[in-house]
Amino acid sequence: MATTRHRPSTTKVAACMATLAAAALLTLRIWPAPDTPGQAAEALPDIEQHKSTMPDADELLFLADSRDDLDEPPPWQPGPEVTKESFSEWRAQRLGNANPQQLDNPVWHWLVRTRIDAQTANEHFGGPDPFDAGPGFCFARFGQTCTRLDDGRLVRIGGEHEDSYDPDFCIYNDVVVRAADGALAIHGYPREVFPPTDFHSATQVGDRIVVIGCLGYPEQRRPGLTPVFAFDTATWACTAIEATGEAPGWIHRHTARLDANGGIVVTGGRIELADGPSIENIDDWRLDLAGPTWQRLTARRWTQIAFARRDGQYTSLSDLRLAATLQEEVGRTASAASESFLAEVRAELERRLGAPPEPARVADLYRFTVPHEPVPAPDGENWPPTWRIRIDGVTLRFEETSHIVRLVVEGELAPATIDTIVTELQQKLELLERCVYGVRRH
């Protein structure tokens, strides 16, 4: 008998109002959270294991260049060279057993060119349930780099498909090369040569592509270390680069650029810690490939603080903001649909909080007794939901994620001022959510 699969949804649909899209809920795992300051603190939950990102311009370029007709998408169905038998043989990811091993086959070429998701491809051929058979190979990925070489080749490295709750979730360690004439070559590697890699950077340096950083599976992360690999663009052999000096640590989601002296400058992104959630990379770093040696270019004296529920549950802030917006909408338009939706949201909040919610209070969450002024959001910023204020010329940035509220103090501020902000915010969060919040500083 066929098995019906129901994949978890990551968002709560607010179809009645497009302006409420940012208030969607994320359904994630539950981790233990830390104690309050002054007590023995456990690790805060790491809630950004595998967050998806929007494709950048290079990704869209690769998608367009991967199609034979730039005006129309390619046919969804595979050609006659992709059979049920060949799909069964090649439906799953496999690692290379050489450095590199070419893994070209009609099934993967079809999936690369069309970017059909693993679930759709598997259902088309009546393949096995991935809950039992494991994830299917897929080229619809996040955290994958795209590098255009001088000779016109387009190089895609690694990336992940889906999030960790999904049966088709997989982090890849392949290199896919598209020649100027459209020909594809897929290279695989043993895990010990090139581990599964996502949210890294890839920089062309002469006849090499240098890959820096990775999020990876939790068990492969080594906080304090920075993975660096180089791919020979003639043979596609991979070599690990072991650099000395002060490195950024287990960094991911960063940017990298080649400087005038042949070094690679790394900025932005996040850094995994051994005893807590990831933190923002606030400094600039340089990898001198001649050494190879890492050098820290800046030493910004910023403060980062994370607030999380001690019960490990995700926050209710997005639903409280949703309720506040709906409440305003109902008062302005008397919309029956909005009123019905508001009643549903309030009922869910009351069930979760154990008391009637007070959504109007979220408007004051980042207003403090310390004199401050609001700072407008930069153009194009949309995720995570972010608020800024300025105190004594220093910007304080507040970010709301599913499990954590992050505060980044972008400069030096009097410790007493920071303590006041932390105390007031912790109290407001606890009042809003009827629970105890823990605080961790870095």
Per-residue pLDDT of the chain (442 residues; tens, 9 = 90+): 333 333 333 333 333 333 333 333 332 222 223 222 333 333 333 323 333 333 343 444 444 444 444 345 446 789 899 999 999 999 999 999 999 999 999 999 999 999 999 999 999 999 999 999 999 999 999 999 999 999 999 999 999 999 888 999 999 999 999 999 999 999 999 999 999 999 999 999 999 999 999 999 999 999 999 999 999 999 999 999 999 999 999 999 999 999 999 999 999 999 999 988 899 999 999 999 999 999 999 999 999 999 999 999 999 999 999 999 999 988 888 888 889 999 999 999 999 999 999 999 999 999 999 999 999 988 877 778 999 999 999 999 999 999 999 999 999 999 999 999 999 999 999 999 999 999 999 8
Report strand pairing: 264-267 vs 285-288: antiparallel
Residue 295 lies inside a defined structural domain of this protein? no
Residues 229 and 328 in one domain: no
Residues 113 and 72 in one domain: yes
CA 107 to chain centre: 28
The pLDDT of residue 75 is 65
Structural domain count of the chain: 2
**Domain final position from 242, 274, 291:** 242
Using CA of residue 177, residue 178, residue 181, residue 185, what is the dihedral sign? Answer: positive
Token pair for residue 166?
Answer: 């999904």
Residue 189 lies inside a defined structural domain of this protein? yes
Asked if 335 contacts 329 with a C-beta cutoff of 8 angstroms, the reply is yes
Q: Is 78 exposed, middle or buried (0-12, 13-18, 19+ CB in 10 A)?
A: buried
The pLDDT of residue 380 is 74
Residues 92 and 213 in one domain: yes
* 3-class SS of residue 88: helix
Asked if 413 contacts 402 with a C-beta cutoff of 8 angstroms, the reply is no
Residues 95 and 205 in one domain: yes
Residues sharing a CB contact under 8 Å with residue 434, sequence separation 6 or more, in sequence order = 353, 354, 355
Residues 227 and 121 in one domain: yes
Cis, peptide link before residue 385, omega less than 30° from 0? no
Residues of the domain holding 161: 57-242
Residues 105 and 37 in one domain: no
Residues 321 and 206 in one domain: no
Please state, in angstroms and rounded to a whole number, the distance separating the CA atoms of residues 346 and 340. Answer: 10
Residue type, 2: A
Residues 43 and 115 in one domain: no
Asked if 159 contacts 146 with a C-beta cutoff of 8 angstroms, the reply is no
Residue 423 lies inside a defined structural domain of this protein? yes
Q: In what order do the strands lie in the sheet with 170-178?
A: 101-102, 184-188, 170-178, 154-161, 145-148
Residues 350 and 436 in one domain: yes
Residues 320 and 209 in one domain: no
For the chain, how many residues are written?
Answer: 442
User: In the 8-state DSSP scheme, what is residue 7?
Assistant: P
Residue 153 lies inside a defined structural domain of this protein? yes
The pLDDT of residue 45 is 33
Residue 346 lies inside a defined structural domain of this protein? yes
Residue 289 lies inside a defined structural domain of this protein? no
Q: Is 31 exposed, middle or buried (0-12, 13-18, 19+ CB in 10 A)?
A: middle
User: In the 8-state DSSP scheme, what is residue 275?
Assistant: S
Residues 129 and 179 in one domain: yes
**Domain final position from 242, 267, 291:** 242
362-to-5, 11, 227, 322, 431 alpha-carbon distances in Å: 38, 21, 41, 10, 10
Residues 23 and 165 in one domain: no
Token pair for residue 311?
Answer: 């019960």
Q: Give the residue carrying structure tokens 């650029």.
A: 257
Asked if 391 contacts 379 with a C-beta cutoff of 8 angstroms, the reply is no
Residue 252 lies inside a defined structural domain of this protein? no
Residue 192 lies inside a defined structural domain of this protein? yes
